[in-house]
Amino acid sequence: MLDPSLRHATVAILALSLGTIATSRQGVAEEAASFPSPEQLLQVPVGPTFPGGVRFPPPIKDPEADDPAAIQRGMQAFVSMNCVGCHAPNGGGGMGPALSERTFIYGREPANIYLSIQQGRPNGMPAWAKMLPANVTWDLVAYIRSISSAPETQWGQTTSRSPQSPTIQQVPAELLTTTTPWAHTEPFGDGRKPSMH
Amino acid sequence: MYRIAKIKPPSNGSDEGEGTLITIASNVLSNHVRSSILVLSGLIALSAPAFAQSPAAPNASPTNLDILSRDPNQWVMAPHDYANTRFSSLDQINAGNAAQLHLAWTFSVGADRGQEAAPLIVNNTMYVVAPYAGPHPNQVFALDATTGDLKWSYAPKPDGAAQGVACCDVVTRGLAYDQGKIFLNTLDNYSVAIDANTGKELWHTKLGDLNEGQTITMAPLVVKGKVLIGNSGGEVGVRGWLTALDENTGHIAWRAYSAGPDSDVLIGSDFKPFYDWLKGKDLGVKSWPPGAWKTGGGTMWGWISYDPALNLIYYGSGNPGPWNSNQRPGDNLWTTTIFARDVDTGAARWALPLNPHDLFDHDEINENVLLDLEIKGQLRKVLVHPARNGYMYVIDRATGEILSADPYDHITATTGVDLKTGRPIENEEKAPVLGKNIEDVCPAAPGAKDWQPTAWSPRTKLLYVPHQHLCMNFKTAQVGYIAGTPFVGAEVDMYAGPGGNRGEFMAWDVTEHKKVWAIRENFPVWTGTLVTAGDVAFYGTLDRWFKAVDARSGALLWQFRAGSGFVGQPVTYKGADGAQYVAILSGAGGWPAAVAAAKIDPRVRNAALGFVGATQDLPQYTSGGSELLVFKLAGSGAPQGNPSHANGAQLETGNAHAQ
């Protein structure tokens, strides 16, 4: 017997996202072979230090990265699974941290992001493993990699009023739906109304 | 009626005729570049009041706490008194000497997130609570209110993960006190009673579940031995309630939901709403699509007032969920509703939904200030509710009848309030259409004023209102309910309202229905306020100024540049040394300022539920902070003699060599 909250959740997924998720793939099982194995994922380090200088295997590539439709599917899942509510449109952050910047608390390698989603993270990131199959999670990874590619003009980040920094803002989501928000920017708005494109 | 007018270049304060906004005191302008003071001329010098106005008079058998709250030397509940006036009759600090305020001592609560809590002062002990962050989330500290000595601290055992479901930073709005006990609400849904003298835990009760998205951020209020607590989570599809706990045991005495069948809302035979459309059975079910009330919000994370004579408590409920109104046709009762309830049983006496079928996240959890006012020649027991929807409501608190509702900020979402029905008149042009971007919706989602409480002075007869001045783009989208995740369905992008300022601190004449003066601030004014018998009003700004202004004219008397922006609540009390102190926590955060304290990207306008659009430049002024600041007048208080080292530190002179 499902507990009531889970039942609710299931209804929501079926209604809003499985349509997209299921029809976009020819079945999870036949694809699964190409996904990293649990053993491989277990070896993924979260941080950059290794006692004794032992080498780790090279980072795992996002198996969906070569599928141009993956980012698009990832964006749909980001909305239908309510990631967008906590991380904001285009991953600007709110209840959850910004996913629009290049720095990540738990690592920005594809496998780091994959594990953050599947396992959850202690300070409020829900664990999605029982809800999101591997292929959907890798789609999300592809999307998050895309929205987190903020332009970099220097190594660190300067915040200043004069001269103003940051100098740009994204075209806001109510005006533009895109998988590449960092390709659409305008001058920093300073709390004024955005220009209407 | 107040209209937004252009700021003219500073004049010499010459009279420009009634209703014209003019700037005064050019030195004020140069002191803080983008805030300016505006006066409706002709109203600066208040004429003698035509009739008596005073905070609600208590009945014959006041509770101990009610009596304590009238001792000006203490500050025993967050709203100061049951009427929620936040007025102190202390007058050592006054408009003539406030310029001599200086820091007496400071204390760090150890958690750099939004500091919205009001300190409490009972028997020369100050109690403060930290936000849900740092090594000890929601830690409580007891300090000597005169010297700042730490007496004890108490750290609740955190359940973790609470910050993931707290919509608008990990804030708490404060503690409560009664009968030697301090009452703490934790973000992760515990109510805790602590011995006020020793810091020892007396009981703890779990009231909600993080997996359903519930949290608690409000300051509890104790009335007649009951600890009154509401939940948060209106952005996570939480079903809102107000719960009364027995202060001695922590057991639940009653719980009143904001939606659902009458039996859950505690609507019974005593229920007499003023307007006809509010009469009927189970409207909390019938005014929703089937079952939608179960995930429909109506949480309670704001203020409670209490009228001992009527034995009624007053509070407002939060927004309906989801924000996407297309998904919930109907009036969505009883969200955004002011309730009057019998404090002993929780039974509803009347209810008044201010924003039926709310379109724009206009919770109505704001404070209800209980005043006895003469209106049209009659003495009326009213409550004044500066609503999120931008109207200043004056409501008969015995019946729930709206006596007046006047706009106090720029409003485009509605065109007025129909006093025959009590309903706002919607502006069709701004009605959300699924998937369509609606521009220039004013006030924006946080409303013309959010939780930040006002203060009312019986001396000036003015209500002091800290508030924001924002409009927004608003685009709705279909959203599915997944327990414990956001249930919003809207892309929001806020920005400064007409005139370019994003906030204001103003004085409002309740009986004349008008703004008397207003200080335009660059950022939303997100602190509470305090007004004293010295005719000084205090508030703070997001860009790190704590200000004292003349309660009659609005003139700036003093300001202090702090370590971090202000979102807290100023309080005042008298120390053991006889000096009057003013205390406030500094630390930017909360909904408007989380962008300066948390990992939020100022370049993404829709971040933080759209508030980033309006405060994206705030990180250029402040970062997070955790400092309690305590001020007094230079040289005030009993003379201390020569300074001596506290806590056994000794100066060693002569041959003090390393061994």
B614 closest CB neighbour out of A84, A98, A191 = A191
Q: Got the DSSP string for B575-636?
A: -TTS-EEEEEEE---HHHHHHHHSS--TT-TTTGGGTHHHHTTGGGT-----EEEEEEETT-
B31-51 mean pLDDT: 38
Determine the Cα–Cα distance for residues A53 and A35; give it in Å rounded to an integer. 28
B347-369 mean pLDDT: 98
Q: What is the pLDDT of residue A47?
A: 87
**Would you call A112 helix, strand, or coil by DSSP?**
helix
B398-408 mean pLDDT: 98
A124 closest CB neighbour out of B162, B502, B612 = B162
Domain count, chain A: 1
B520-540 mean pLDDT: 98
Chain-centre distance of CA B52, in angstroms?
Answer: 27
> Quick one: closest CA in B to A102, which residue?
B601
pLDDT at A7 over 90: no
Q: Got the DSSP string for B241-304?
A: EEEEEETTT--EEEEEESSSSHHHHT--TT---SSGGG-STTHHHHTSSTTGGGG-B----S--
CATH code for the domain in which residue A78 is found: 1.10.760.10
Q: What is the pLDDT of residue B27?
A: 34
Active site residue B319: yes
A177 lies in some domain: no
pLDDT at B577 over 50: yes
Mean of the per-residue pLDDT values of chain B: 91
B367-375 mean pLDDT: 96
Percent of chain A with pLDDT over 90: 69
Max mean pLDDT range (A51-60, A79-88, B47-56): A79-88
B75-91 mean pLDDT: 98
Q: Tell which of B521, B595, B606 to mutate to test the A interface (max A CBs under 10 Å).
A: B606
pLDDT at B505 over 80: yes
A14 lies in some domain: yes
Q: Which residues contact B377 (CB under 8 A, 6 or more apart)?
A: none
> How close B365 comes to chain A (CA, Å)?
21
Of the listed ranges B42-56, B73-87, B104-118, B423-437, the one predicted with least confidence:
B42-56
pLDDT at B9 over 80: no
CA atoms within 13 A on the CB side of B153: 16
In the block, tokens 């630390």 appear at: B587
Strand B530-532 and strand B87-88: pairing? parallel
- Cβ neighbourhood burial of B431 (10 Å; 0-12, 13-18, 19+): middle
Tell me if B428 sits within 8 A of B414, measured CB to CB: no
Tell me if B335 sits within 8 A of B320, measured CB to CB: yes
Q: What is the pLDDT of residue B641?
A: 54
CATH code for the domain in which residue B62 is found: 2.140.10.10
Residues in A closer than 8 angstroms to B482, CB to CB, are 8-9, 12-13, 81-82
Of B646, B489, B647, B588, nearest in space to B114 by CA: B588
Q: What is the pLDDT of residue A11?
A: 39
pLDDT at B52 over 50: no
Determine the Cα–Cα distance for residues B592 and B523; give it in Å rounded to an integer. 9
Of the listed ranges B14-23, B463-472, B487-496, the one predicted with least confidence:
B14-23
Note whether B601 contacts A190, CB cutoff 8 Å. Answer: no
B127 lies in some domain: yes
B500 lies in some domain: yes
Question: Which band of pLDDT confidence, cut at 50, 70 and 90, is reported for residue B640?
Answer: low
Active site residue B512: no
> How close B634 comes to chain A (CA, Å)?
34
Domain count, chain B: 1
Residues in A closer than 8 angstroms to B615, CB to CB, are 191
pLDDT at B34 over 70: no
Question: Which band of pLDDT confidence, cut at 50, 70 and 90, is reported for residue B643?
Answer: low
B4 lies in some domain: no
Note whether A191 contacts B491, CB cutoff 8 Å. Answer: no
Note whether B620 contacts A101, CB cutoff 8 Å. Answer: no
- Active-site residue, from B73, B319, B332, B389: B319
Q: Tell which of B434, B520, B595, B603 to mutate to test the A interface (max A CBs under 10 Å).
A: B603
Q: In which domain, by residue range, is B349 found?
A: 20-633
Q: What is the pLDDT of residue A66?
A: 79
B488 closest CB neighbour out of A16, A85, A191 = A85
Structure tokens, B450? 């959010």
Residues in A closer than 8 angstroms to B622, CB to CB, are none
B207-231 mean pLDDT: 97
pLDDT at A53 over 90: no
A66 lies in some domain: yes
Regarding predicted confidence, which is higher, A26 or B617? B617
ipTM, two decimals, is 0.89
> How close B1 comes to chain A (CA, Å)?
26
Tell me if B315 sits within 8 A of B304, measured CB to CB: yes
Note whether B616 contacts A189, CB cutoff 8 Å. Answer: yes
Instruction: List strand residue ranges (DSSP E) for B413-535, in order.
Output: 414-418, 423-426, 437-441, 455-457, 462-468, 470-476, 490-496, 503-509, 514-521, 530-532
**H or E element in which residue A115 lies:** helix A110-119
Question: Which band of pLDDT confidence, cut at 50, 70 and 90, is reported for residue A59?
Answer: confident
Annotate B148-162 with b (16+ C-beta within 10 A) or e (fewer): eeeebbbbbebeebb
In the block, tokens 């009154």 appear at: B228
B646 lies in some domain: no
State pLDDT tens for residues B541-562. 999 999 999 999 999 999 999 9
Q: What is the pLDDT of residue A29?
A: 42
B150-165 mean pLDDT: 93
Q: What is the pLDDT of residue A19?
A: 40
Strand B305-307 and strand B226-230: pairing? unpaired
Residues in B closer than 8 angstroms to A190, CB to CB, are 616-617
Note whether B437 contacts A175, CB cutoff 8 Å. Answer: yes
In the block, tokens 């910004």 appear at: A98
B584-595 mean pLDDT: 98
Dihedrals φ, ψ of B109, to 5°? -90, 0
> How close B522 comes to chain A (CA, Å)?
10
Q: In which domain, by residue range, is A28 found?
A: 4-151
Chain-centre distance of CA B484, in angstroms?
Answer: 26
Tell me if B453 sits within 8 A of B528, measured CB to CB: yes
CA atoms within 13 A on the CB side of B580: 19
A144 lies in some domain: yes
pLDDT at B56 over 90: no
A60 lies in some domain: yes
A171-192 mean pLDDT: 96
pLDDT at B438 over 80: yes
Of B575, B460, B582, B461, nearest in space to B527 by CA: B582
Of the listed ranges A104-118, B151-165, B293-307, the one predicted with least confidence:
B151-165
Question: Which band of pLDDT confidence, cut at 50, 70 and 90, is reported for residue B62?
Answer: low
Q: Kindly report the number of other CB atoms within 10 A of residue B485's CB atom.
A: 26
B482-510 mean pLDDT: 97
Determine the Cα–Cα distance for residues B573 and B43; give it in Å rounded to an integer. 31
A168 lies in some domain: no
Note whether B600 contacts A98, CB cutoff 8 Å. Answer: yes
Determine the Cα–Cα distance for residues B454 and B80; give it in Å rounded to an integer. 11
Active site residue B361: yes
A78-94 mean pLDDT: 98
Determine the Cα–Cα distance for residues A148 and B106; give it in Å rounded to an integer. 40
B6 lies in some domain: no
B398-405 mean pLDDT: 98
B650 lies in some domain: no
Regarding predicted confidence, which is higher, B59 or B235? B235
Q: What is the pLDDT of residue B75?
A: 98
Q: What is the pLDDT of residue B49?
A: 34
Structure tokens, A113? 């992001």
Structure tokens, A111? 């496998």
**H or E element in which residue A22 lies:** helix A19-23
